[in-house]
Amino acid sequence: MLRADEEADGADLPIPAPMRIETSHKGIFAGARVDYKAVVSNLLLKNEAGEVYADAVTTAYLSDKRDGRPVTFVFNGGPGSSSVWLHMGLVGPKRVVVPSDAQNAGLAPYTLVDNEYSLIGTSDVVMIDPIGTGYSRLAGKGKPEDVYGLAEDARTVAQIIREWVRVNNRWNTPIYIMGESFGTTRAAAILPYLEDGPEPLRVNGLILISQALDYTGSSPFPNNLVAFVTYLPTEAATAWYHGKVEKTGSLEEHLKEVRAFAMNEYLPALFKGSALGKAEFDSVATKLAGYLGLDVAYVKRAKLRVLGGRFVKELMRDEGLAVGRLDSRYLLDEIDDTADSPRADAADAAISGAYSAALHNYLRNDLGVDLDRPYYISGPEVGREWVWARDPEGYYEPSYVNTAPDLAESMRFNAGLRVLVASGYYDFATPFFDAEYTFWRHGIDMSRVTMTYYEAGHMMYLHKPSLEAVARDVKAFIEGR
């Protein structure tokens, strides 16, 4: 298949034929025996002119018993990531086994096991690979600018959900949406496209794994005052985990203390900047260094502003190790021990090979999928062509990506919409304190929000006890408990 930038003389891209690969299975998930079908199929998406612009491939797990059974639409983030991580780590019927203690998963062969924690025990599941990821591609009249942007992606994924509901006649079914990382940005962004318009589709609940709705608190840049505060509890948890601070009491008790310091002492000190008196500066620096597990002289040289991207290199510099960004339990021995930040992510290096191999093996050998195009774990074209916001007419000020207002507004007119927010303590991509900051400040009805926490990172299901806990929490959320 030609890429969009390889079109010959403006010719249309190929339009694949309709596809449906169906296999029958059975399993025991969350204690429930389920007979189900796995269906890999495509949806040809059309624009307002009725022209095909994309070919979306989904993998659905459908119980033989449909009465009252919800359906959960699942995707990962990126932008540009396929659904491989949630598929093979949390919700699918098989999962790849990686070390629970944050060690490297090593080399093939990897172990795939029946996933007793699969969401299939509670809900039908539709794994969505957004256009440009997995097997999903642009097609026909499709151009990168049709799909590779925040609004364009939200509109497209909402169309995938609605068309899947239409084709499978699931209009009167409870609908849940699960996203991870940027997938949570997308989950909030698609609500206006689903719940408004000529065919409104009400959503029962959002399951946000490692939420990233408002990027203000998850962008650790030098001039972003907020991020120094939102990252501090994650940094403190990481120092705690690696034994760089004295452990007294529980981690939760320790982080409660850190949160209080962050809001009541650290934030005011940062706000004062160079107007901060020496005595107060020294006091805050000493406390901050104590929580971070770093030398107080380093904290003072940083003017109290220790960047998250530097902390992951600095914490264990004396041992020549960098902690992971996606999960700071992981460690990586890099060549350059003098660099200010890591070149690679320890967690990604440890697990990506296992997840890729497992997903490809599973699709081919268990589901019988043998397409004439690669399954993109990470879509190359998405990375090249993505535009966060296409410049509107007139003047506007740049701002952080923020879809929290979409969620807040949707909860106003969908009085039944509930939200589950699952956060890992060791996540440097989407820090858990940022989840609290985001949900506190955007007018979101907190009476319908459940916040859960796990002693793991961005993909908390890499840690077996956290996998068990998050699966239990998701099940309880969908069942309304």
Of 300, 332, 347, which residue constitutes the final position of a domain?
A: 347
Q: Is the dihedral of CA 125, 131, 134, 136 positive or negative?
A: positive
Picking from 363, 377, 325, the residue whose alpha carbon sits closest to that of residue 347 is 325
Q: Is 397 exposed, middle or buried (0-12, 13-18, 19+ CB in 10 A)?
A: exposed
The pTM assigned to this predicted structure is 0.95
CB of 432 closer than 8 Å to CB of 233: yes
pLDDT tens by residue, 240-250 = 999 999 988 99
Task: Give, as one character, the DSSP assignment of residue 216.
Answer: G
The three-state secondary structure class of 23 is strand
Q: How far apart are the first and last CA of the chain?
A: 47
How many residues does the structure list for the chain? 481
Of 347, 368, 392, which residue constitutes the final position of a domain?
A: 347
Q: How far apart are CA 57 and CA 138, in angstroms?
A: 11
Task: Give, as one character, the DSSP assignment of residue 361.
Answer: H
Q: Are residues 194 and 342 in the same domain?
A: no
Q: Are residues 50 and 124 in the same domain?
A: yes
Q: Are residues 195 and 128 in the same domain?
A: yes
Q: Are residues 56 and 142 in the same domain?
A: yes
Q: Which residues of 277-349 form beta strands (DSSP E)?
A: 322-323, 331-332
Rounded to 5°, angle at Cα 378 from 372 and 379: 65
Q: How far apart are CA 87 and CA 178, in angstroms?
A: 11
Picking from 20, 55, 76, the residue whose alpha carbon sits closest to that of residue 137 is 55
* Peptide linkage before 109 cis (omega within 30 of 0): yes
Q: How far apart are CA 344 and CA 323, in angstroms?
A: 10
Q: How far apart are CA 153 and CA 228, in angstroms?
A: 30
How many folded domains does the chain comprise? 2
Q: Are residues 270 and 330 in the same domain?
A: yes
What does the CA dihedral 282, 286, 288, 293 come to, rounded to 10 degrees? Answer: 150
| Radius of gyration over every alpha carbon of the chain, rounded to an integer in angstroms | 23
| pLDDT tens for the chain, residues 1 to 481 | 444 444 445 689 999 999 999 999 999 998 889 999 999 999 999 999 999 999 999 999 999 887 789 999 999 999 999 999 999 999 999 999 999 999 999 999 999 999 999 999 999 999 999 999 999 999 999 999 999 999 999 999 999 999 999 999 999 999 999 999 999 999 999 999 999 888 999 999 999 999 999 999 999 999 999 999 999 999 999 999 999 999 889 999 999 999 999 999 999 999 999 999 999 999 999 999 999 999 999 999 999 999 999 999 999 999 999 999 999 999 999 999 999 999 999 999 999 999 999 999 999 999 999 998 999 999 999 999 999 887 666 566 678 999 999 999 999 999 999 999 999 999 999 999 999 999 999 999 999 999 999 999 999 999 999 999 999 999 999 999 8
Which tokens go with 372?
């004439």
Q: Are residues 16 and 55 in the same domain?
A: yes
Of 303, 332, 347, which residue constitutes the final position of a domain?
A: 347
SS (H, E, C) 107-146: CCCCCEEECCCCHHHCCEEEEECCCCCECCEECECCCHHH
CATH number of the domain at 122, please: 3.40.50.1820
CB of 176 closer than 8 Å to CB of 204: yes
Q: DSSP readout, 248-297?
A: -S-HHHHHHHHHHHIIIIIHHHHHHGGGS-HHHHHHHHHHHHHHHTS-HH
Q: Are residues 176 and 59 in the same domain?
A: yes
Which tokens go with 429?
């991509």
Q: Are residues 163 and 234 in the same domain?
A: no
Q: Is 253 exposed, middle or buried (0-12, 13-18, 19+ CB in 10 A)?
A: exposed
Q: DSSP readout, 422-472?
A: EEETT-SSS-HHHHHHHHHHS---GGGEEEEEESS-SSGGGSHHHHHHHHH
- Give the H/E segment covering residue 314: helix 308-314
Q: Are residues 31 and 142 in the same domain?
A: yes
> CA dist 346 to 48, 258, 408, Å?
44, 25, 35
Q: Are residues 330 and 272 in the same domain?
A: yes
Burial pattern 33-65, b for ≥16 Cβ within 10 A else e, equals: ebebebbbbbbbbeeeeeebbbbbbbbbbbbee
Q: Are residues 38 and 174 in the same domain?
A: yes
Tell me the residue range of the domain where 167 lies. 4-215+351-478
Q: Are residues 33 and 123 in the same domain?
A: yes
